């Protein structure tokens, strides 16, 4: 669905707030709609998203012109609008944030002009989703209603012969588009989003969502839900109009969505006790800040308990300085307070910075292979707030820090079985496994499409990235790996 492009508008709070009521959850609707398109494989850069203050009349009209100019014959234009709509002086209007009820002629936007602009583009298909067909004098935050009818019937007549324009509208004229307070969405938009996310039952043909089944689903679900949540048992009857060259067309291809669901389903039986971000480096012992030639310090020539202890002792300053620097950055970037960071603990070559969200740990030891080399391992573990992984400032602090993501499995797995099943696939260009015949409790898995590799033991599952990246990038690499191995059934092998 890389050829989908368009504009998504949500006006929830108006400048003319005394006369233009709040359209509750309009932004929630638009956010979820856009995210649904991205999950379907659409490119977010192909969409102009205009919530509230960005949705001025000037900006909306400008973006519509740009999209119409840029759209190619192979593009499908998507137009989504959540906000107040009007039928005024024989014209259907949508409102911008700077629309004023006393001056609709000059401050609202004629919907026909938007659709006409798309019609005149090179695109052969435009799909519009309008959660704004309203009526009535009164309005509240519960129903999305302006001052007078938004005439969907008029639009239906005007565009009855347009072959490449289809409009899904939330209700007929003389009806109001209701808000579902419990679900924090417009009723109609909620079901539209459910359909695009693959959560609607029995409406898909394979992985495809067709226009006729989408409309029937939106009508049935919306109509019954509105009856249920309104004390007056109100009517809301979604409609679809326009003319397609066939009786039905594909609204969305949900292949990627259903593939992800299948991978998730296959992975549900895998439970992790803990997750650790980590990285390991080596350097010469003589480069440690505690190494002092004036004190007659010399690089070790042997690997033994004495030198192991000595290296840990002279590494204290390095550990202390790094932990203090991390604490300083956390205070500056994440606005941590004194109570958010406990005292730094350093003992026997191990330093630990305990924060309200996670622990940052440094461990320095003598190399087991080169006597004059030390090994430094850095890790973030004991997550108490997993949301921190999505924090931009957190990822900025630890940019290019980690290349491993390790999970401790809650139960022992049969590595032999996994090795056997991968070898049964018998396609090393797709997926292959490496192991030592003398000890098959550990194996390395390599799969096409991922430059790193997987290390699997009876109790651990580790993703090894090729380069050091920020935490969020390592998480995304893990998701990529799961998608790749999921297509081969590997998560099932971990059952």
| % of the chain at pLDDT higher than 70 | 87
Q: Which pLDDT score is estimated for 313?
A: 95
Task: Report whether pLDDT(260) > 80.
Answer: no
Task: Report whether pLDDT(418) > 90.
Answer: no
* Strand 204-205 versus strand 208-210 pairing type: antiparallel
> Quick one: average pLDDT of 396-403?
93
pLDDT tier, 150 (very low <50, low <70, confident <90, very high otherwise): low
Task: Report whether pLDDT(334) > 90.
Answer: yes
Q: Which residues contact 274 (CB under 8 A, 6 or more apart)?
A: 381, 382, 407, 408
**Which ranges in 315-452 belong to alpha helices (H)?**
316-333, 392-397, 415-425
Task: Rank 77-81, 208-212, 410-414 by mean pLDDT and report only the highest.
Answer: 77-81
Tell me the C-alpha distance between 179 and 229, whole Å: 9
Q: Which pLDDT score is estimated for 145?
A: 43
Q: Which pLDDT score is estimated for 476?
A: 81
Task: Report whether pLDDT(291) > 60.
Answer: yes
Reduce the secondary structure of 302-343 to three states and give it as a string. Answer: CCCHHHHHHHHHHCHHHHHHHHHHHHHHHHHHCCCCHHHECC
pLDDT digits (tens, 9 = 90+) for 25-73: 999 999 999 999 999 999 999 999 999 999 999 999 999 999 999 999 9
Residues in the chain: 495
pLDDT digits (tens, 9 = 90+) for 102-135: 999 999 999 889 998 998 999 989 999 999 854 3
> Quick one: average pLDDT of 81-95?
88
pLDDT tier, 157 (very low <50, low <70, confident <90, very high otherwise): low
| Residue boundaries of the structural domains of the chain | 4-257, 272-493
pLDDT tier, 259 (very low <50, low <70, confident <90, very high otherwise): confident
Tell me the C-alpha distance between 470 and 387, whole Å: 15
Question: Do 316 and 288 touch, CB atoms closer than 8 A?
Answer: no
Nearest to 242, CA basis, from 442, 474, 77, 389: 77
| % of the chain at pLDDT higher than 90 | 61
Task: Report whether pLDDT(142) > 70.
Answer: no
Task: Report whether pLDDT(272) > 50.
Answer: no
* Sheet strand arrangement including 373-381: 345-347, 350-354, 359-366, 373-381, 272-284, 402-409, 460-469, 453-457, 439-447, 431-436
State the chain's mean pLDDT as an integer.
86
Q: Which pLDDT score is estimated for 143?
A: 40
Tokens representing 112 are 């026909």
Task: Report whether pLDDT(261) > 90.
Answer: no
The CATH classification of domain 4-257, taken from the options 1.10.357.10, 3.40.50.1460, 3.40.1390.10, 3.30.300.30:
3.40.50.1460
Residue 165 φ/ψ, nearest 5 degrees: -125, 120
Residue 460 φ/ψ, nearest 5 degrees: -135, 145
Q: Which pLDDT score is estimated for 409?
A: 76
> Quick one: average pLDDT of 266-285?
73
Cα dihedral 208, 210, 215, 216 in deg (nearest 10): -80
Tell me the C-alpha distance between 9 and 11, whole Å: 7
pTM over 0.75: no
Q: Which pLDDT score is estimated for 114?
A: 93
Task: Report whether pLDDT(15) > 80.
Answer: yes
Tell me the C-alpha distance between 320 and 246, whole Å: 71
Tell me the C-alpha distance between 493 and 422, whole Å: 9
Task: Report whether pLDDT(246) > 70.
Answer: no
pLDDT tier, 489 (very low <50, low <70, confident <90, very high otherwise): low
pLDDT tier, 140 (very low <50, low <70, confident <90, very high otherwise): very low
Q: Which pLDDT score is estimated for 133?
A: 55
pLDDT digits (tens, 9 = 90+) for 342-371: 888 999 999 999 999 999 999 999 999 999
Question: Do 135 and 175 touch, CB atoms closer than 8 A?
Answer: yes
Handedness of CA 385, 386, 391, 396 (dihedral sign): positive
Strand partners, 408: 274, 460
Q: Which pLDDT score is estimated for 265?
A: 53
Cβ atoms within 10 A of the Cβ of 422, count?
A: 25
Q: Which pLDDT score is estimated for 151?
A: 62
Task: Report whether pLDDT(373) > 80.
Answer: yes
């Amino acid at each position: 669905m890389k050829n989908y492009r368009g504009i998504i508008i949500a006006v929830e709070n108006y400048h003319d707030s005394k006369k233009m009521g709040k359209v509750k959850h309009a932004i929630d609707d638009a956010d979820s709609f856009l995210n649904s398109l991205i999950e379907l494989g659409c490119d977010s850069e192909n969409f102009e998203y205009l919530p509230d203050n960005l949705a001025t009349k000037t900006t909306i009209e400008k973006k519509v012109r740009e999209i119409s100019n840029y759209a190619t014959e192979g593009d499908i234009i998507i137009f989504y609008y959540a906000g107040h709509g009007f039928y005024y002086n024989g014209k259907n209007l949508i409102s911008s944030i700077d629309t004023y009820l006393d001056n609709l002629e000059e401050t609202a936007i004629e919907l026909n002009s938007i659709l006409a602009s798309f019609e005149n583009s090179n695109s052969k298909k435009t799909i519009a989703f309008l959660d704004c067909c309203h009526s009535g004098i009164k309005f509240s935050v519960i129903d999305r209603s302006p001052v007078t009818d938004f005439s969907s019937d008029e639009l239906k007549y005007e565009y009855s012969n347009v072959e490449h324009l289809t409009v899904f509208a939330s209700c007929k004229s003389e009806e109001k588009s209701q808000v579902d307070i419990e679900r924090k969405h417009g009723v109609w938009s909620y079901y539209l989003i459910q359909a695009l996310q693959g959560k609607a039952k029995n409406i898909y043909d394979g992985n495809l969502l067709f226009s006729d089944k989408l409309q029937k689903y939106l009508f049935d679900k919306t109509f019954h839900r509105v009856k249920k949540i309104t004390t007056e048992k109100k009517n809301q009857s979604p409609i679809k109009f326009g003319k397609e060259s066939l009786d039905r067309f594909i609204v969305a291809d949900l292949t990627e969505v259903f593939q992800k669901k299948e991978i998730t389903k296959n992975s549900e039986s895998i439970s992790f006790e803990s997750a650790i971000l980590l990285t390991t480096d080596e350097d010469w012992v003589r480069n440690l800040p505690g190494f002092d030639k004036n004190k007659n310090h010399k690089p070790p020539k042997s690997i033994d308990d004495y030198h192991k202890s000595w290296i840990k002792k002279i590494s204290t300053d390095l550990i202390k300085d790094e932990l203090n620097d991390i604490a300083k950055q956390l205070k500056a970037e994440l606005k941590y307070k004194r109570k958010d960071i406990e005292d730094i603990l350093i003992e026997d070559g191990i330093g630990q910075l305990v924060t309200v969200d996670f622990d940052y740990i440094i461990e320095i030891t003598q190399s087991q292979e080169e006597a004059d080399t030390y090994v430094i391992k850095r890790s973030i573990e004991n997550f108490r707030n997993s949301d921190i992984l999505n924090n931009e400032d957190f990822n900025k602090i630890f940019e290019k820090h980690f290349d491993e993501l390790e999970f401790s499995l809650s139960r022992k797995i049969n590595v032999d079985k996994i090795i056997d099943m991968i070898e049964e696939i018998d396609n090393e260009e797709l997926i292959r496994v490496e192991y030592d015949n003398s000890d098959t409790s550990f194996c390395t898995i390599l799969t096409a499409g991922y430059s790193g590799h997987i290390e699997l033991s009876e109790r651990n599952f580790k993703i090894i990235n090729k380069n050091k990246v920020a935490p969020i990038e390592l998480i995304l690499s893990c998701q990529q790996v799961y998608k790749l191995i999921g297509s081969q059934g590997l998560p099932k092998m971990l059952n």
